[in-house]
Amino acid sequence: MSAPADALPQYDCLAVTNHGSPQQLHLSNRIAGAGATWAQHADCGVVFDGALYNREDLQRELGESAELRATSDAETILACYRRWGEQFFGRLRGSFALIVWDSARELLFCLRDPVGTCPLFYAKAPGGFFFATSIDTLVKHPNVSRSLNRGALADFLIDRFPYTEETFFEAVKRVPRGHVLRIDKNGAEQLYCYWDPAPDGTVNWIKPEELERFDDLFIQAVTRCLRFGPAAIFLSGGLDSGSVAAVAAQQSKELGMPQPIALSLLFPEPALSEEVVQRSVAKQLGLPFIIKGFYEAAGANQLILTALNLSASLPSPLLNTWWPPYFGLAQEGTNRGCRVILTGDGGDEWLTISPFLAADFMRDFNLRGIYQLWKSVYRSYHEPTFPLFRNLIWRWGVQPLVVPPVYRMVKRLAPWAITLRHRVQGTVPEWLAPDPALREELSERRYGRTPTKREKPDSFYLRSARTALDVPLISMVAEESFNIGERLGARELQPFWDADLIDLLYRTPPFLLNSGGRNKGLVRSTLARRFPQVGFQEQRKMGATTFYADTTYREGSEALQRLGTAPTLAELGVVDEPRLRAFLDRIIARRPQGQAFHIWKVLNLETWARAHVS
């Protein structure tokens, strides 16, 4: 290896020459004072950034060995690679970006952790390959182009994310979650998945008695997050964050750590307030409790403008409009020494039954199953009976079964009808992509692809579950949390996004997930027993759709006037500004609740592009 360990801090990213020989080997970006670790042998070297959760387990498997005088995660991984080669990658657990340089075979392996909580990006540019945990680091390198990816910008406006590897910069690619980028001495790239709960598309369903492992795996997941240091918890009044808080309080006590700080937001609308539940849970768990008003935490009287300012400073457009108040709330924790912020994110993905199970039941004429599913969903959400039944029967039941085969049949027997439909409806809105070249590109991008080919499950339920692992948006959300966590000096982590816990929950038969006939039955009954006065057993999920829409219409109209709609995006050829303005004016005039996001999308992307265009 050409870069000695004591020289590493001078480098911002890892660079590999076109011939595969590392010149500079270092992953940038330090979290809460912890930097990348380095280990090397005569024929191999490792750079590791993050935390390895199962280091002790791997060391036990290695046994007593002279090569195992490992004092760091990097040294442990180096020893494992030299013993087992790349086959051991699937056994890694943690939150990390990892580079392995095998000089004997002239191979470079670049890994992102199984669920993608730690980012890893790369660029192929004059001089070779460049790697970093930060997009900003790469585009600041003189050899890496800062040109924006117009296709990704255009697709962002209509909520399409077809390519997992791409970013909003043409030259920068991401390593997807649970994947290895393998580069040989000739610069040939191979991307493959090293961890997946169902790699061949089939599921080895667990037996009911195996579900007893849930509690142990959930405790393990929370404890893994606590290893980053003193914790705070975003405590809503929901089941997910409540269950994380309960386990974190218990484990912190057992580990002799300070009790986590409960951080809660007080929404301005009384109907959205969960203060009673938040205070009750924090009090019964003995947690220090901080609650702040929504706009007080945001540090401004407006949500949209504050969110736009945050978006302009990030390497990708802001995805979560709610981040400003949560950022202010998180600062209350970091100011008190917290180095990790826990959330209940992931509970919706892994503790609930996808409504697309209705399609499986209808295909099998399982009327009893459809009734049980309807009853479970009805008891778990605040939804009127008729719209819920209509969605269950048509949107999640009949439509997935009927529409695809009809489309395929028409395409085979009367392809002109498909072409005509596309011409009439248009593959993209009239205000999007006025540049003919970009419009043609969008027509091709609409089909998208996943980074690695895998068999599509026959079950609609499993196809829906796969989206939580495969869609690019999930990786982008994790990267956003990582970037904002850097500013806070803490990691935002989600115990429900733990690889071992996901492996169990993904393979859990649907109705075992909602024991008691309600969604999230695995945690609902436990919380109901622990907090009998709170009402967790009967709780239904609340939404803030109306509040978000009203806020966006009120503040967004003013922001559009201030920005001048989207001149930067128009100059890039991404939008036709007059047509876009007319489209937004029609929405603002009617104020449909489900269309408010268009205003935020335009404001967000214009603000971000204006800050990043070269």
Q: Which residue from 561, 597, 596 is spatially nearest to 581, judged by alpha carbons?
A: 561
At 560 the pLDDT is: 92
pLDDT-based confidence at residue 19 (cuts at 50, 70, 90):
very low
At 404 the three-state DSSP class reads helix
Place of tokens 């307030």: 273
* 387 vs 260, higher pLDDT: 260
Q: Which residue from 549, 561, 555 is spatially nearest to 591, judged by alpha carbons?
A: 549
Q: Which residue from 81, 34, 80 is spatially nearest to 57, judged by alpha carbons?
A: 80
Q: What percent of the chain has pLDDT over 90?
A: 55
Tokens linked to 193: 């998945």
Report pLDDT digits (tens) over 129-179.
Answer: 889 999 998 999 889 999 999 999 999 999 999 899 999 999 999 999 999
Task: For the chain, give the number of residues.
Answer: 614
What number does CATH give the domain 5-193? 3.60.20.10
Q: What is the mean pLDDT of the chain?
A: 86
User: Could you tell me which residues come within 8 angstroms of residue 93 by beta carbon, excluding any fewer than 6 positions away?
Assistant: 52, 53, 54, 114, 224, 499, 500
User: Could you tell me which residues come within 8 angstroms of residue 105 by beta carbon, excluding any fewer than 6 positions away?
Assistant: none
At 336 the pLDDT is: 96
Enter the DSSP assignment of 353.
Answer: -
Whether the predicted pLDDT of 513 surpasses 60: yes
Q: Which residue from 120, 171, 103 is spatially nearest to 13, judged by alpha carbons?
A: 120
Amino acid (one-letter) located at 375: K
Q: Which three-class secondary structure string do you get for 129-146?
A: EEEECCHHHHHCCCCCCC
Of the CA atoms within 13 Å of residue 430, those in its CB half-sphere come to: 9
At 451 the three-state DSSP class reads coil
pLDDT-based confidence at residue 1 (cuts at 50, 70, 90):
very low
At 79 the pLDDT is: 92
pLDDT-based confidence at residue 66 (cuts at 50, 70, 90):
very low
At 29 the pLDDT is: 47
Place of tokens 């660079």: 15
Nearest 10 degrees: CA dihedral of 242, 246, 247, 251?
150
At 123 the three-state DSSP class reads strand
Q: CA angle, 468 as apex, 153 and 506 as ends, to 5°?
A: 170
Report pLDDT digits (tens) over 395-443.
Answer: 888 888 887 777 677 667 766 655 554 444 446 799 999 999 999 899 8
Which option is the CATH number for 208-350+472-540: 1.10.630.10, 3.40.50.620, 2.60.40.1660, 2.30.30.240? Answer: 3.40.50.620
Report pLDDT digits (tens) over 101-113.
Answer: 998 898 999 999 9
| Phi, then psi, of 109 in degrees rounded to 5 | -115, 130
The whole-angstrom separation of Cα 552 and Cα 591 is 10
Listed by start position, the domains of the chain span 5-193, 208-350+472-540, 357-461, 546-612
pLDDT-based confidence at residue 31 (cuts at 50, 70, 90):
very low
Q: Which of 148-157, 279-288, 537-546 has the lowest mean pLDDT?
A: 537-546
pLDDT-based confidence at residue 524 (cuts at 50, 70, 90):
confident
pLDDT-based confidence at residue 268 (cuts at 50, 70, 90):
confident
At 602 the pLDDT is: 97
Q: How many CB atoms lie within 10 A of CB 83?
A: 15
Contact, 235 vs 264, CB < 8 A? yes
pTM for the model stands at: 0.89
Place of tokens 């404001």: 603
Tokens linked to 103: 């000089």
At 503 the pLDDT is: 95
Report pLDDT digits (tens) over 321-345.
Answer: 999 999 999 999 999 999 999 999 9
Whether the predicted pLDDT of 537 surpasses 80: no
* 525 vs 16, higher pLDDT: 525
Contact, 560 vs 603, CB < 8 A? yes
